[in-house]
Structure 1
């Protein structure tokens, strides 16, 4: 079994506002294993970034952790002082932010910015740290690194700036790397290069990655496991193969059905109707019920438990209850199911078993 690096259990985070408490994260649990990539996907506002910022203690001043636990290598993070968190940030847990121009200091040479974490955390001399910075620049694919180590951020293209941000995040060989939509502002060609680079550097330093995105196409080639978030909750989690090819939650169906593939015919894509719920007053039952054409009466009254389909696959939907009627998912999802079940004859959604939400912790990764 792979070594467990991170455990998030029963986490709930609120934001205090003039209108009341926004329940941004509502009782989520997941784990992260050594060397794996866990993708967290969902619409804007689903809680992806808030979840990962809580891992680094970077929440806004009006945020409060209502309850829950975040353990890094068995050590509780919640409640640590700012000084204690600063020792973790950049050394053990690092983050690649979405926009490199807001992440980089425009007044500092990039060599200095890459070397700074080594000087702060490793107490290296400036000369040694700059030497390591040069090595990292070459590793992340910055051409003619010796000539550009004294350049400033504005002298680089968007793709090169993102490489610099990756170099800064990885210079201390962190155990956990959080990538917050790192390719959103890049064109498709540069996006592919950055994703290949992240996989290469991950293999080089054997780090674990939490990859935040709303782009399922990126997830398919990047992640080992996928957690689907909606309205501050994880509503489905499993391996990439399970979530992409044997999805069970109607929200996951909607995400996949709105994503073009090489087999998609003209006019087949469908958007998910409606908007996410107001988290000042979250729904009592399934938060997706109001947008879900497959919703049952109980979805309006009671939150669904997680149903376990395999040792690694869980989905929170009443459609998996043995008392639920049979529903016909979108055609694209039916095709995915057929391919998956042909390769995995043992897969049977009728055998799903209701489990406690925290059961997603402790599942063994299939890497």
Structure 2
């Protein structure tokens, strides 16, 4: 597609350990369009963060490897670039916001200098011009009195303000893609909402494409255009927010939605997904979710399902979509929870996208 800025094809990432080779990402395919927000969701260990590290060229070597696959960014395959070549892209064209701002910021360096570093390195600005731009960025992300606060250290900022500083650093060089790896997890609910609103506002102003990594489906409903659900190193369902929230097809997606608390069901117990994710040193034959799937069929234990087409925008990797499979719908409890989640977030999402 003409407006595709990133195209990931059959991406595989492995890590050598004493116990064997961990297949952390096992043939990932997705694209990102200009100005779009793609959310990648899934349990811990599903491969979300490993995927983003691969995109940024941050897979630790020599243990980490990309044995197969392409990461096409504006026609260039990032998987084949050297560390030196990636340094010219990382921070300038693709930036990342990490989960905990205190591990992203240097506690011994004033925040102004930390913002200016990228501007001087990538944009070749002078010290004075970089300082002026750093003040503008602090103002853009909502830091009050930026002219004076530019000379302060990270410990002098609250958690929410530190995350705003991290966002300012990520935006310093006007990146084309912004990767946000669970950027609101360490923040309280009120601050989370402010940061999400800030990111959406900045995206409108700068037309930046965003990859949003999260386990919080409430966040997805508010900010994303499309959703990719990951399990055991693969995408098992992908579609628009409406596709995934109103018409989910994969039993794993049903489980994620069922485990999501809603305001309307205060006394209802959360629905847990039984079992644990598979050992990716020895990935199972067939569907990796089969042993946790109450609708498992014999073919799930023998063959891995392809991504079946539900609509032009919606695909899911489950044998339940095969024409010969029995007709199965989400459990009633999950349906009720889906209604609660979507009703709680639809009006908010419409505000963001208006």
Cα distance between partner residues in 2 of 1:95 and 1:24: 20
Shift of 1:83: 1.3
Cα distance between partner residues in 1 of 2:146 and 2:92: 24
Cα distance between partner residues in 2 of 1:330 and 1:111: 52
2:347 corresponds in structure 1 to: none
TM-score using structure 2 length: 0.93
Cα distance between partner residues in 2 of 1:228 and 1:2: 25
- Structure 1 residues 70-79 or 24-33, which shifts more? 70-79
2:226 corresponds in structure 1 to: 225
Q: Is the 8 A contact 1:286 1:300 kept in 2?
A: yes
Shift of 1:265: 5.7
Shift of 1:327: 2.1
Shift of 1:144: 1.1
2:36 corresponds in structure 1 to: 36
1:352 corresponds in structure 2 to: none
Q: Is the 8 A contact 1:40 1:229 kept in 2?
A: yes
Q: Secondary structure at the match of 1:244?
A: helix
2:89 corresponds in structure 1 to: 88
Cα distance between partner residues in 2 of 1:202 and 1:79: 29
Displaced runs of 4 or more, over 4 A: 335-339
2:64 corresponds in structure 1 to: 63
Residues 112-168 of structure 1: per-residue CA shift (max 9 Å, x gap) = 111111100011001000100000000100011112110001111110000000000
2:171 corresponds in structure 1 to: 170
Structure 2 residue 29 is the aligned partner of structure 1 residue 15: no
Cα distance between partner residues in 2 of 1:191 and 1:238: 25
1:251 corresponds in structure 2 to: 252
Cα distance between partner residues in 1 of 2:65 and 2:18: 15
* Change in CA separation of 1:338 and 1:196 when aligned onto 2, cut-off 3 Å: closer
- Structure 1 residues 263-272 or 148-157, which shifts more? 263-272
Cα distance between partner residues in 2 of 1:174 and 1:330: 43
Cα distance between partner residues in 2 of 1:275 and 1:338: 27
Shift of 1:263: 3.4
Shift of 1:107: 1.1
Residues 272-315 of structure 1: per-residue CA shift (max 9 Å, x gap) = 11110000000111101111111111111100011101111000
Shift of 1:72: 0.3
Q: Secondary structure at the match of 2:31?
A: strand
Residues 320-353 of structure 1: per-residue CA shift (max 9 Å, x gap) = 11111122421144458899xxxxxxxxxxxxxx
Cα distance between partner residues in 2 of 1:2 and 1:337: 34
Q: Is the 8 A contact 2:258 2:338 kept in 1?
A: no
Q: Is the 8 A contact 1:20 1:280 kept in 2?
A: yes
Q: Is the 8 A contact 2:257 2:338 kept in 1?
A: no
Q: Secondary structure at the match of 2:295?
A: coil
Q: Secondary structure at the match of 2:212?
A: strand
Q: Is the 8 A contact 2:39 2:214 kept in 1?
A: yes
1:50 corresponds in structure 2 to: 50
1:103 corresponds in structure 2 to: 104
Shift of 1:79: 1.6
The number of residues matched between the two structures is 341
Structure 2 residue 313 is the aligned partner of structure 1 residue 316: no
Cα distance between partner residues in 2 of 1:70 and 1:177: 15
Cα distance between partner residues in 2 of 1:4 and 1:146: 38
Q: Structure 2 unaligned segments of length 5 or more: list them.
A: 341-352
Cα distance between partner residues in 1 of 2:328 and 2:225: 29
Cα distance between partner residues in 2 of 1:66 and 1:325: 38
Q: Secondary structure at the match of 1:78?
A: helix
Cα distance between partner residues in 2 of 1:257 and 1:148: 44
